Chains A and B, each alone.
Chain A
Amino acid sequence: MSLLEVNHLDVRFALRRGDVKALRDVCFSLDRGERLGIVGESGAGKSVAAFSLLNLIAKPGYIAGGSIRFDGQELTGMSDRALRKIRGHRISMIFQDPMMTLNPVLTIGEQMVECLKAHRRIASREARAIALRKLEQVQIPSPEARLDQYPHELSGGMRQRVIIAIALLLDPDIIIADEPTTALDVTIQAEIMALLLELCEKHNVGLILITHDLGVVSQVTQRMLVMYAGRVIEQGPTREIINDPQHPYTQGLMNALPQMATPGSRLNQIPGSMPSLDNLPSGCAFHPRCGFTQRVDGSERSACRSQVPEFVTSGNCRVACHMVAEMLERERIPAEETAR
Chain B
Amino acid sequence: MTATATAPVRETAAPEAIRPLLEIRGLEKRFSLSGDFLEQLKFKGGKLVREQEYVHAINGVDLEIQRGEALCVVGESGCGKSTVARTVMGLLHPSAGEIRYDGTRIDDLSTRALMPYRRRMQMIFQNPYASLNPRMTIQQTLEEPIRLHHPDWSQQQVRDQVAEVMASVGIAPDWGKRYGHEFSGGQRQRIAIARALAVDPEFIVADEPISALDVSIQAQVLNLLMDAQRDRHLTYLFITHDLAVVEHFGTRVAVMYLGRVCEVAPTATLFATPRHPYTQALMSAIPRLEDDRPQHIRLEGEVPTPVNLPSGCVFHARCPHANARCREEVPALIASDDGARVACHAVEEGRLD
Q: Does A270 contact B (CB under 8 A)?
A: yes
Asked whether B299 lies within 8 Å of A187 as measured between CB atoms, the reply is: yes
In the bound assembly, the distance between CA atoms of A157 and B303 in angstroms comes to 10
Q: Does B2 contact A (CB under 8 A)?
A: no
Asked whether A266 lies within 8 Å of B226 as measured between CB atoms, the reply is: yes
In the bound assembly, the distance between CA atoms of A78 and B288 in angstroms comes to 41
Q: Does A312 contact B (CB under 8 A)?
A: no
Determine the main DSSP class of B at the interface with A.
helix
Interface residue count for B (Cβ, 8 Å)?
42
In the bound assembly, the distance between CA atoms of A274 and B289 in angstroms comes to 24
Q: Does B244 contact A (CB under 8 A)?
A: yes
Give the residue name and chain of the B residue nearest to A249 (CB). B216
Asked whether A263 lies within 8 Å of B268 as measured between CB atoms, the reply is: yes
Q: Which of A187, A218, A243, A266 is close to B76, meaning CB atoms less than 8 Å apart?
A: A187
Q: Does B248 contact A (CB under 8 A)?
A: yes
In the bound assembly, the distance between CA atoms of A254 and B222 in angstroms comes to 15
Interface hit among B37-45, B102-110, B173-181, B278-286: B278-286
Those of A80-128 within 8 Å (CB) of chain B: none
Give the residue name and chain of the B residue nearest to A193 (CB). B287
Interface residue count for A (Cβ, 8 Å)?
43
CB distance from B312 to the nearest CB of A (A): 21
- Chain B residues with CB under 8 Å of A185's CB are 76-77, 241, 303
Asked whether B244 lies within 8 Å of A257 as measured between CB atoms, the reply is: yes
- Chain B residues with CB under 8 Å of A261's CB are 248
Q: Which of A158, A187, A243, A256 is close to B216, meaning CB atoms less than 8 Å apart?
A: A256
Q: Does B186 contact A (CB under 8 A)?
A: yes
Asked whether B247 lies within 8 Å of A263 as measured between CB atoms, the reply is: yes
CB distance from B218 to the nearest CB of A (A): 7
Q: Does B231 contact A (CB under 8 A)?
A: no
CB distance from B69 to the nearest CB of A (A): 12
Asked whether A258 lies within 8 Å of B245 as measured between CB atoms, the reply is: yes
Give the residue name and chain of the B residue nearest to A266 (CB). B223
Q: Does B5 contact A (CB under 8 A)?
A: no
Q: Does A315 contact B (CB under 8 A)?
A: no
- Chain A residues with CB under 8 Å of B186's CB are 273
- Chain A residues with CB under 8 Å of B291's CB are 239, 243
Asked whether A219 lies within 8 Å of B219 as measured between CB atoms, the reply is: no
Interface flags for B289-321 (1: CB within 8 Å of A; 0: not) read: 111010010110111000000000000000000
- Contact A267 to B215, CB < 8 A, known contacts A187-B299, A258-B248: no
Asked whether B302 lies within 8 Å of A253 as measured between CB atoms, the reply is: no
Interface flags for A264-286 (1: CB within 8 Å of B; 0: not) read: 10111111011000000000000
Give the residue name and chain of the B residue nearest to A215 (CB). B287
Which of B226, B302, B303 has the largest count of A CB atoms less than 10 A from its CB?
B302
Q: Which of B77, B215, B241, B267 is close to A256, meaning CB atoms less than 8 Å apart?
A: B215
- Chain B residues with CB under 8 Å of A271's CB are 220
In the bound assembly, the distance between CA atoms of A264 and B222 in angstroms comes to 10
Q: Does A242 contact B (CB under 8 A)?
A: yes
Asked whether A214 lies within 8 Å of B215 as measured between CB atoms, the reply is: yes
- Contact A189 to B219, CB < 8 A, known contacts A258-B248, A274-B214: no
Interface flags for B43-67 (1: CB within 8 Å of A; 0: not) read: 0000000000000000000000000
Give the residue name and chain of the B residue nearest to A263 (CB). B248
- Chain A residues with CB under 8 Å of B285's CB are 186-187, 189-190
Interface residues of B (CB under 8 A from A): 76-77, 184, 186-187, 214-220, 222-223, 226-227, 241, 243-245, 247-249, 267-268, 281-282, 284-291, 293, 296, 298-299, 301-303
25 contacts between A and B (CB under 8 A): A41-B215, A41-B216, A157-B302, A185-B77, A185-B303, A186-B243, A186-B286, A187-B282, A190-B284, A190-B287, A218-B289, A243-B291, A254-B289, A257-B219, A258-B248, A263-B247, A266-B226, A267-B219, A267-B222, A267-B223, A268-B219, A269-B216, A269-B219, A273-B214, A273-B216
Closest 5 interchain pairs by CB? A215-B287, A258-B248, A256-B219, A185-B76, A41-B214
